[in-house]
Amino acid sequence: MKKVDNSVSIGTQSLEQLQHLLRQPAVGQVFVLTDSNTVRNCYPLLQRYLPDHTLVEIPAGEEFKTLASCELVWNQLTEKAADRFAVLVNVGGGVVTDLGGFCAATYKRGIRFIQVPTTLLAQVDASVGGKTGIDFQGFKNQIGVFQEPVSVCIDPTFLATLDARQLKSGYAEVVKHWLIADAAAFATQRQEGVLIKDWSPIIQDSVATKQQIVEADPLESGLRKVLNFGHTVGHALESYLLLQAGREILHGEAVAAGMICESWLSAQRGLLSAAELDSIETFLFSVFEKVQFVTMETDAIAELALQDKKNSGSTINCTLLDGIGKALYDQPITVTEIAESLRYYHRL
């Protein structure tokens, strides 16, 4: 297995590490952020490792990754007179870890926070790397800052609280790491699919891959952009459907669709062979159901990519594959090309 740095603890002992951190003399008040799902399913598993604390709960779901939810958190911190020695423990999936990290990073110019990711997506991706943020006006992660947590405590036991759809959503980010940086893992480990008994090695390798990339480019000025493979088209698709009542999809489902679209764009430019494209499509469709939209929506979806954070002015910058296991960032693509990739995906 690849090594992760000391800021990340993976395994059943990770909650003991959390307990140790919160017993340090420099720790003031402890606040624990959950959502309406994790307070019921995960908080009870964690409670005995926590000192006296204040529980803060926000509604569950991407639609609540907003400034309104941040205000709820900031209000609780303010009402309890939290000072800069306070620690916020974020217990949940990507919404909770992103939003909680952002709230901590901005409250009184920054208090410390610890991530306790409870979904596969958060364990392999969202909680690691220091990105925090919220959605704004329907656009994904439009407001945020870079701020590293004190620690990330990853206990795979929490995955037993997930349904199959949530587990698969996180698996999309695992596959993304293979496609951009580990061709050998894609060739061998995809044979198992999501029927995995012990997630710890998968989580550790995925976290190590991300940490290696982030360490080389912590503020996403260059290499770190490869981690956005699948996300230019994926975020546009996710944002569009988030605004359509009853049609919301999970982040990983959008990323899986985005990876197919961006793999096709890679093939169109001669960077990816037809055989490689077929292997990516075949595998992703063996795990993920097709995201449903109609052809007449493709232009409207593609237009949303103009808001992508990787853009330079009016140029949409995308990450494409230069063969499986190698990614190229800052590849300019057009709204028309994105729409064409979505129409290709729709025809499959």
Is 20 an active-site residue? no
Is 131 an active-site residue? yes
The residue from 65, 176, 190, 251 that is catalytic is 251
Pairing between strand 112-117 and 316-321?
Answer: unpaired
Tokens of 145: 């800052």
The residue from 224, 225, 238, 310 that is catalytic is 224
The residue from 235, 238, 262, 340 that is catalytic is 235
* Best CA proximity match to 49, nearest among 122, 120, 119, 114: 114
Is 177 an active-site residue? no
Helices (H) and strands (E) in the chain, counts: 14, 10
The residue from 148, 220, 253, 337 that is catalytic is 220
- Judge residue 120's burial from the number of C-beta atoms within 10 Å of its C-beta, 0-12 exposed, 13-18 middle, 19 or more buried: buried
Is 224 an active-site residue? yes
The residue from 65, 131, 177, 310 that is catalytic is 131
Q: Which amino acid is at 11?
A: G
* DSSP state for residue 133 in the 8-state scheme: E
The residue from 65, 140, 176, 231 that is catalytic is 231
Tokens of 147: 């701020």
Phi, psi torsion values for 336, nearest 5 degrees: -60, -40
Yes or no: say if 242 and 63 are a contact pair by the CB < 8 Å rule: yes
* DSSP state for residue 315 in the 8-state scheme: B
The residue from 37, 90, 140, 173 that is catalytic is 173
Beta bridge partners of 58: 35
Tokens of 284: 């992703």
Is 220 an active-site residue? yes
Catalytically active residues are 109, 131, 173, 210, 220, 224, 228, 231, 235, 251
